[in-house]
Amino acid sequence: MSSETDRDRLGNLKGMRPISRQLSLYLFGTLLATVLITSVLLSVIVLRSFSLIHQKELDQHVGEVNAYIDLYMHDRLAVLNDLAVTPLLKQAVMQPDFLLEDVSDFMGRMRLLGREQRISLLDFEGRVVSGYVGPDVILEELMDELTGRQGVPFSRLCLVEEKPFVFLSTAILSHNLVEGALVAQIPLADVLRDLYLGEGSEVISLEVIQDQIVVGSLGEVVQSARSGQLSCEWLDARLVLRSDMSATLKLWMAGLWVMGGIVMVMVLLFTLVAYRLSQRNLLAPVSQLQLEIRTAGEKGIYCSQKGFSTSILELSQLREGFQRMMQRVETREQRLVQVQEELRSAHRRLQIWDEAKRQWLGNLGHELRTPLTGLFSLCDAVFEEHISKKELRELEGEYRTTRHQLEKLLDDASLLTYLDVSSDDFLLDPMPLGVALAGTIDELSALSVDFVCDESIEIIQGVIIKAEPALLQRAFTDILRTLAHCMGNTGCIRLSGRVLDDKVQIRACAQQASLSRREVALFFEVGGQRDSFRAGEEFGLGARLAARIIQIFGGAIEVKSENNEIIIDIIFLRA
């Protein structure tokens, strides 16, 4: 007994030691993973922020370059405009042969903001009168464009002998007419040479691109995906400023990595210390418990508790089972939400269909009545006026039958629409069931419908229900006429009744007839009986109207087909 107790005690203690080690390792792993993830996220965020700042600086810098080019061109074009309005140049383009020497001397001493440029004086046909000669084709095109612009100065970037030049053109006007032009040719390299790209220009380059071709550049081309781009109106080209991360940015990144490494080392040291402390604090109670158990066992007061070493495993299994159960519950909740959404969608579609049916019945009952009344009156007048004609007498019977069917269809549609709208306004009074049954029997006899009344019909005639006699009689007549049409001329209808505890049942049975499942399901729908008729005609809205009237009176109606019989059961609550 003592040896078994010692084994249980040692097993319990051994079961607790792995738990403490697992908790310590879990704490160590959690801290280490947190440090690594935080370091990676901080590095990504900082790198992304620096990249955005660098891109913003590029966009701002290329805007400054464009502003400088705008100022550069504007100043030189202003000087060129001042030269173009001098009287000497106006007379030179008007009378080039008389002032040739003076104009040549003047053009030779002409400067643009202190720099010697290629300046050409053109006549109204684009020919060089004085100054720099060539290229002729470009000068003629500039003169034509200047004439089309009505003397408005402009600039163009063109290639001359595969070298880019900026052509500044201004008009020489006389009485608001273009008589000549003054054109200055400035090499694009001179324009770019004066640009300031800022510090660290060894990692910054500017490219001038026209028609997808680099026509000029400043600085060594930097192979970098980051660039600032802007369209320059003066050059009619696109400015692309490329730059790699500056040395300052790289220094910041290097410092950040160094600081991150130092922080990571410190956190790792802290994690190791925390791991040792947690291991010591978790194992200390276990050692103390081991000592107390040993002392209690020596004194004979220790009681072994089997299964203590496996209780943790059981708890873990219970936890896993609970998680699986919660997953199944969540899955079922998701399925329930999906089914509810499908039901709501189906309900919305049914509401739309019911509203469409109600509007169609309303239009059928009200909108068609007036034109059909006029048509019937016209047909009646035709038959009365030509009553002697044999052909019309033969058609009169069919006409009367068709007219009766259409009038009943309109009346049924109007009444069905009225019942759907005003069903809550009916005041139902107690009445004997026999009143409606007697009227129905008389009406069916007049319509030549074959039927047989069982003796039980006399028993239920005195039963009191809450209804409106005229509407109830109409419902009985319509439903029995529909049953007769479904049966055809092959048999008769048998009527029977039965009194239950608080209900009364009326059964109509058509022998030697049957309906399919689809016909039974669509029996009370609008137009659903069209496949059920055996006599080759439709009955319209009779079954639907009868079912609606019985429903308003608190009753229920059911149709079924079994044993080569069609059975209709109508049930009312007794008053």
CA–chain centroid gap for 69, Å, is 47
Please list, in sequence order, all residues whose beta carbon lies within 8 angstroms of the beta carbon of residue 206, skipping any fewer than 6 positions away: 65, 192, 195, 197, 217, 218, 219, 239, 240, 241, 242
- Give domain limits for the chain: 85-192, 331-424, 426-573
Class of domain 85-192: alpha beta
- When comparing pLDDT for 546 and 102, which is higher? 546
Convert the pLDDT of each residue in 511-538 to its tens digit. Answer: 888 888 888 888 888 765 555 444 434 5
Distances (CA, A) of 83 to 116, 148, 180: 14, 21, 13
Query: How sure is the predictor about 282, in pLDDT bands with cuts at 50, 70 and 90?
Result: low
Q: Tell me which of 77-86, 149-158, 237-246, 402-411 is least confident.
A: 237-246
pTM: 0.39
The DSSP annotation for 99-116 comes to SHHHHHHHHHT--BTTB-
Distance CA 353, CA 214 (A): 68
pLDDT attached to residue 244:
67
Distances (CA, A) of 388 to 394, 396, 402: 11, 12, 22
Q: Report the pLDDT averaged over residues 32-52.
A: 75
Class of domain 331-424: mainly alpha
Q: 3-state SS of 179-200?
A: EEEEEEEEEHHHHHHCCCCCCC
Q: Report the pLDDT averaged over residues 218-232.
A: 71
Do residues 451 and 437 make contact, with C-beta atoms less than 8 angstroms apart?
A: no
478 is written with which tokens?
């319509």
Query: How sure is the predictor about 16, in pLDDT bands with cuts at 50, 70 and 90?
Result: very low
For strands 118-123 and 451-453, give the pairing: unpaired
33 is written with which tokens?
């993973």
2 is written with which tokens?
């003592």
The helix/strand/coil state of 227 is: strand
- The superfamily (CATH) of domain 426-573 is Histidine kinase-like ATPase, C-terminal domain (3.30.565.10)
For strands 128-131 and 154-160, give the pairing: unpaired
pLDDT attached to residue 573:
92
Tell me which residue of 246, 205, 248 sits closest to 228, measured CA to CA.
205
Task: Enumerate the β-bridge partners of residue 213.
Answer: 210
pLDDT(555) > 90: yes
Convert the pLDDT of each residue in 328-376 to its tens digit. Answer: 988 999 999 999 999 988 888 878 777 766 676 666 656 677 777 777 7
The DSSP annotation for 70-88 comes to HHHHHHHHHHHHHHHT-HH
Fold agreement between 85-192 and 426-573: no
